[in-house]
Amino acid sequence: MNLSFQLSYFILLLQQVVSANKQKHNRINFTPPSPLLRVSHAQTDDQTRRTSQSNHQPLRIKFHTEPLLDAIVGADALTTARANAIINRVLPEVEAIWSQSLSVIPSHAALVFPHDICFDLYDVPAEWSNRKKGVQDTDLVIFVSAFTFIGSTQVCSSNSALPTLAVSSPCAVDPETDRPVVGFANVCLNNLGMGSNGQVDDASIRTMVDVMSHELVHVLGLNSELYKYFRNSKTGKPLTPRRKNFVGRVTGFKTTDNVPCVGGQKKKDLTIACDNTVKYGEELVKFGNDYAKRGFYEIVTPTVMQVARNHFNCQDLAGARLENQPTSADCIGSHFDERTWFTEFMSAIYDEDAAFFSPLTLAFLEDTGWYKSNFRRAENSPFGLGAGCKFVNDDCIVDEQVPDYGKGFFCDDKDGSDWACGPSHRFRGKCDLKMFAHPKRTYFKTFHMGPSFSHADYCPLIISDAQDCDDTSGVKSFSMEVFGADSKCMDISHQGTKSAVCLKASCNDQTQSYDFEVENKIYSCTFDFEVINAQLLNGANYKLSCPRIAQVCPNMFCPSMCSGKGICDWSSLRPTCKCFDELDETKGCYDSAVVEQAVCSTSSGYKTSFTALALMFPVLALVTQLF
């Protein structure tokens, strides 16, 4: 079989797009063909099923690392050190993160795998295929390997400018609930950073934990091929109707003709999720002097919708947009849109300063119907937080300037010479605006002007020449500057010159202020864009511009965006959650029940296709359960 086009995997490429100081990571995904193969398995009795549905337990992940260990037999010391770091440091942390963040209704039976599970890439332990044994006490099995090629596809690029960090794919789903239960994660050992002492450094460990966690979410559900398998969180019934034959047996999904894809093309006979899960929309977008119609998809499940509404302070939103600048041939999208969710953990582009483990990710996973999320684990993402509907719906640059709703998020410094604070305020950098021969989209009268980082819908951001504030080896621009774990970026001006500086800072939950320190003196920002005068010991006077308080202290406002189970009241002096469940008095509506998804409407346009399922090669298989 040709694995080069039949694998659904998610590749993380380390791609330098702005400067030697700041690197972005471009996540490229490939979608598997549809439908997914279904196999039979034994059933539990009704009483067992009713009892289990109310007993969620922490997600149990089993990382099978034998393939990775096989890969380093006879390898050099550096490669061995990298593999050991993955096994001993990265995977245990990833397992802990997700066992604390998600719970599932555990199967009361062992999982039994076919011998060719995961595209026949791995040797499956004999007991896992034994119907009398199987895989015990496990909700998700991940095969961990270190292939350079999978089939004819090179998954670990040797290109120094585009080194691949990891590849992942779901391999099999549960026969009863459709929940993914088997996947693989392939790591590219040669591209994992090393410290000066010959060991994998802490920064690389943090990156790999983020990378592996991100890839795991694709296995867990954020995969456009899986959307149509989502279930009602309360009843367990499919959100997207299944096709049945004349005797009532499920034979697959109905298909839709000429499905519009975000890349502009159309696909025939594609099976997509119902409009209670994903909706298609169109907008007019200006390209130069002309306007063009552009399509996009949104996740519109209820918890995702409410988190998005709370995040942007816009109760009119229908949901959360998926990427409209596809990172692959994916028709619908398997990441959240970079323009609106720049600092979101599951956006298409990764860097360490823009990977917040946000309530949006947990809301999405809960709305699959397979998991219950622990929203206490989430941290609010700062990008666009509380900025209003215009931030989402209107342009990032208007009349060649950043509008009020985009202030602090986008930039318009055409020279790109002034230091300014990045969107997370974790670093200072410069505006990413350059002159190009033919930029695809520009917001300026000078049509040749645009950002080198184009994935945020060509909106310019402060990301060039970045200097991290927590980098203790950073070079000071001002004597007052302090680099360290507690430092954040502040915009300043001195004698009419704009710049930015890293200062020790903290969020004061009691006073709802943002406190920063200049030469051992504490100053407090009490409202957005407040200007504070500070005089240094040498007599120099500086004006420090306070950021949006929500942008630097996102968790002080409506924790976890009310878990998507309440409204964030941004109109109050101290924005707080108003839970839909009046009995839930927690700050983040943490004790509220899961939200039930809407019924599939009859206007979705589904059309029955009688293409023989046996003629379509299924990539994802169902595993049998042992009872």
Helix (H) or strand (E) holding 143: strand 140-145
Distance CA(164)–CA(192), nearest Å, equals: 9
Region at 280 (left for phi over 0; alpha for psi -120 to 50; beta for the rest):
beta
pLDDT tens digit string along 432-453? Answer: 998 876 677 888 887 788 898 8
Element holding 266 (H helix, E strand): strand 266-267
Q: Report pLDDT for 392.
A: 97
What would the two tokens of residue 471 be?
Answer: 């980098």
Concatenated DSSP letters of 207-222? HHHHHHHHHHHHHHT-
Token output for 580: 């839909």
For residue 446, CA distances in Å to 147, 172, 434, 568 come to 47, 51, 11, 40
Kindly state the tokens that stand for 277: 């899960």
Gap between the terminal Cα atoms of the chain? 33
Closest alpha carbon to 502 in 452, 461, 552: 552
* Residue 33 pLDDT: 36
CB atoms within 10 A of CB 174: 20
Q: Distance between alpha carbon 609 and the CA centroid of its chain, in Å?
A: 33
Taking alpha carbons only, the member of 494, 493, 513, 517 closest to residue 505 is: 517
The DSSP-derived string for 400-460 is TB--GGGBTTB---SS--S-EE-TTSSEEEEE--EE-SS-S--SSSSTTEE-S--TTTT--
- Residue 154's pLDDT is 83
Which of 47, 351, 7 is closest to 150 using CA atoms? 7
What pLDDT, on a 0 to 100 scale, did the predictor assign at position 162? 52
- CB contact at 8 A, 25 and 206: no
From the number of C-beta atoms within 10 Å of its C-beta (0-12, 13-18, 19+), residue 102 rates as buried
- Omega before 35 within 30 of 0, i.e. cis: yes
Contacts of 351 (CB under 8 A, 6+ apart): 22, 23, 24, 25
Per-block mean pLDDT, blocks of 10 residues, the chain (627 long): 39 36 44 36 38 74 96 91 93 97 89 87 91 90 92 74 74 89 90 70 86 92 92 93 82 83 83 93 82 91 98 97 78 92 87 83 98 97 97 95 97 91 94 81 84 90 93 92 96 93 96 95 96 92 96 96 98 94 97 92 44 29 44
Residue whose C-alpha is closest to residue 479's, from 514, 420, 520, 507: 520
The C-alpha atoms of residue 553 and residue 570 are separated, in whole angstroms, by 15
The answer to whether 366 touches 373, Cβ cutoff 8 Å, is yes
**What's the pTM value of the predicted model, to 2 decimals?**
0.89
User: Taking a C-beta distance cutoff of 8 angstroms, is the pair 306, 362 a contact?
Assistant: no
Q: Which domains does the chain have, with CATH numbers?
A: 3-248 (3.10.170.20), 469-546 (2.30.34.10)
431: CB partners within 8 A, 6+ apart = 411, 412, 413, 414, 416, 418, 420, 460, 461, 462, 464
| Both tokens assigned to 229 | 């398998």
- The phi and psi torsions of 303 (rounded to 5 degrees) equal -70, -40
Q: What is the largest CA-CA distance in the chain?
A: 87
Could you tell me the two tokens for 119? 């595209």
Distance from C-alpha of 417 to C-alpha of 422, rounded to nearest angstrom: 14
Q: Collect all residues with Cβ–Cβ distance below 8 Å to 296 and sequence separation of at least 6.
A: 262, 280, 281, 282, 283, 321, 322, 324, 337
Question: From the CB of residue 624, how many other CB atoms can be counted at a distance below 10 Å?
Answer: 21
Task: Give residue 267's identity as a one-letter amino acid code.
Answer: K
- Phi, psi (deg, nearest 5) at residue 81: -65, -40
Q: For the chain, what percentages of helix, strand and coil (3-state, to nearest 5) are there?
A: 20, 30, 55
C-beta of residue 502 within 8 angstroms of C-beta of residue 487: yes
Position 279 scores a pLDDT of 95
Instruction: Select from 394, 343, 340, 406 the least CA-distant residue to 548.
Output: 406
